[in-house]
């Protein structure tokens, strides 16, 4: 990765920070993004102390105005961006709205990667890696894209729902005229489980009803089994850096860095179109 520049959203902690560490260790210049400037700089300093070239930028990437400012700051710092990793995730226990009035998980998982990728396309010369998560692959509810009808159910969660939507949006993005054939590739990585700040802060009320009885068990075993965050960062590091995937686009990779089939709901054209249309409508003033 010598001579390459990578932007990682949510690089101050959890899987994003380990991804930043892994790419810096491979020689990349890494720009990490977090909401708090002090925390972001501290993470960059820590990773730089390990021998990497890591810089920090502060933005709340669920806010459209922050995304526009972030894209301008990135353009000031570099002529070309080789890799964009849309890593930020969120899982509030109930439906909340961002300052733009967008449902928060839809904003973080779908609208942010859509907006940031579009804003950075003029700079992008390489790869976009979008991070899915949870248990993606269920149906996409077209009357419930922003959890207008339900946020949690017996097995339904808007977290999983929006991660499936991210996959549909990524597929559609990879086919866009200004992307297809431009040398920019767009793929989705599934990291696998990690004992991260997001998981640690999840309350029982944030789980679909059917999982709630086993939450104490999950809390007991998760730190032991999933404490090593280098494992869930493997698939994003691989998609960002490996020669094996040079030119590969519109593909979904599992936690073992192997190609896995897309869920049927992500392949469904009606779902892709509905999500794309909503993202365009919500970002009319930004991109």
Ligand X SMILES: NC(=O)c1ccc[n+]([C@@H]2O[C@H](COP(=O)([O-])OP(=O)(O)OC[C@H]3O[C@@H](n4cnc5c(N)ncnc54)[C@H](OP(=O)(O)O)[C@@H]3O)[C@@H](O)[C@H]2O)c1
Instruction: Select 193 or 219, whichever has its Cβ closest to ligand X.
Output: 193
| Nearest partner of 246 among 78, 140, 126, judged by Cα | 126
84 neighbors 33 (Cβ within 8 angstroms): no
| Nearest partner of 179 among 132, 244, 118, 131, judged by Cα | 118
Class of residue 103 by CB neighbours under 10 A (exposed 0-12, middle 13-18, buried 19+): buried
> Taking CB under 6 A as the rule, does residue 84 contact ligand X?
no
> Taking CB under 6 A as the rule, does residue 119 contact ligand X?
no
- Which one of 193-201, 203-211, 242-250, 276-284 is the stretch in contact with ligand X (CB under 6 A)? 193-201
Q: Which residues pair with 57 in a beta bridge?
A: 33
Alpha-carbon span 106 to 283, nearest angstrom: 13
* Residue with the shortest CB distance to ligand X: 14
Exactly one of 34, 52, 113, 137 binds ligand X (CB under 6 A); which one?
34
Give the number of residues written for the chain. 287
Q: Which residues pair with 130 in a beta bridge?
A: 86, 188
> Taking CB under 6 A as the rule, does residue 89 contact ligand X?
yes
- Residue ranges in 26-175 assigned as alpha helix (H): 37-49, 64-77, 104-106, 112-120, 158-175
Exactly one of 4, 7, 16, 124 binds ligand X (CB under 6 A); which one?
16
Instruction: Select 36 or 175, whichever has its Cβ closest to ligand X.
Output: 36
- Which one of 3-11, 147-155, 178-186, 264-272 is the stretch in contact with ligand X (CB under 6 A)? 3-11
| CB 169, min distance to ligand X, A | 14
Exactly one of 22, 52, 194, 263 binds ligand X (CB under 6 A); which one?
194
Structure tokens at 44: 């960059």
Instruction: Select 260 or 269, whichever has its Cβ closest to ligand X.
Output: 260
Instruction: Select 89 or 206, whichever has its Cβ closest to ligand X.
Output: 89
| Nearest partner of 64 among 105, 16, 102, 8, judged by Cα | 102
Tell me the pairing of strands 252-253 and 185-189.
parallel
Instruction: Select 74 or 88, whichever has its Cβ closest to ligand X.
Output: 88
> Taking CB under 6 A as the rule, does residue 263 contact ligand X?
no
Structure tokens at 42: 């501290």
Which positions from 48 to 77 touch ligand X by CB under 6 A, shown as an x/- string?
-----------xxxx---------------
Exactly one of 48, 73, 144, 199 binds ligand X (CB under 6 A); which one?
199
Alpha-carbon span 92 to 254, nearest angstrom: 25
> Taking CB under 6 A as the rule, does residue 33 contact ligand X?
yes
Instruction: Select 37 or 183, whichever has its Cβ closest to ligand X.
Output: 37
Q: Which residues contact 167 (CB under 8 A, 6 or more apart)?
A: 130, 132, 136, 188, 252, 262, 263, 266
Which positions from 120 to 149 touch ligand X by CB under 6 A, shown as an x/- string?
-----------x-x----------------
Task: Kindly determine how many residues on this chain lie close enough to bind ligand X according to the rule CB under 6 A.
Answer: 30
Half-sphere exposure of 150 (CA within 13 A, CB side): 12
| CB 29, min distance to ligand X, A | 18
Query: Binding residues for ligand X, per CB under 6 A?
Result: 9-16, 33-36, 39, 59-62, 87-90, 131, 133, 191, 193-194, 196-199
């Amino acid at each position: 990765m010598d001579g390459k520049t990578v932007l990682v959203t949510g690089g101050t902690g959890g899987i994003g920070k380990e991804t930043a560490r892994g790419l810096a260790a491979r020689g990349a210049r890494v720009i990490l993004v977090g909401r708090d400037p002090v925390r972001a700089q501290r993470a960059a300093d820590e990773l730089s102390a390990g021998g990497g070239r890591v810089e920090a930028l502060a933005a709340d990437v669920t806010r459209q105005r922050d995304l526009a400012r972030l894209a301008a700051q990135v353009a000031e710092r570099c002529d070309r961006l080789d890799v964009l990793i849309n890593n930020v995730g969120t899982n509030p226990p109930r439906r909340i709205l961002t300052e733009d009035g967008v449902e928060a998980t839809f904003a973080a998982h779908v609208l942010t990667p859509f907006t940031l990728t579009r804003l950075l396309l003029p700079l992008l010369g390489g790869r976009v890696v979008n991070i899915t998560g949870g248990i993606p692959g269920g149906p996409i509810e077209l009357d419930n894209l922003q959890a207008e009808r339900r946020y949690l159910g017996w097995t339904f969660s808007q977290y999983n729902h929006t991660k499936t939507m991210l996959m549909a949006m990524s597929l559609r993005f990879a086919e866009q005229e200004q992307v297809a054939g431009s040398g920019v590739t767009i793929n989705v990585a599934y990291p696998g489980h990690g004992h991260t700040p997001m998981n640690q802060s999840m309350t029982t009320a944030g789980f679909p009803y059917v999982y709630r009885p086993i939450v104490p068990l999950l809390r007991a075993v998760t730190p032991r089994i999933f404490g090593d965050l280098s494992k869930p960062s493997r698939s994003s590091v691989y998609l960002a850096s490996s020669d094996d995937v040079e030119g590969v686009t519109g593909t979904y990779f599992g936690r073992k860095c192997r190609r896995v089939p897309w869920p049927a709901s992500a392949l469904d054209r009606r779902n892709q179109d509905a999500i794309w249309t909503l993202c365009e409508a919500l970002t009319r003033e930004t991109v």
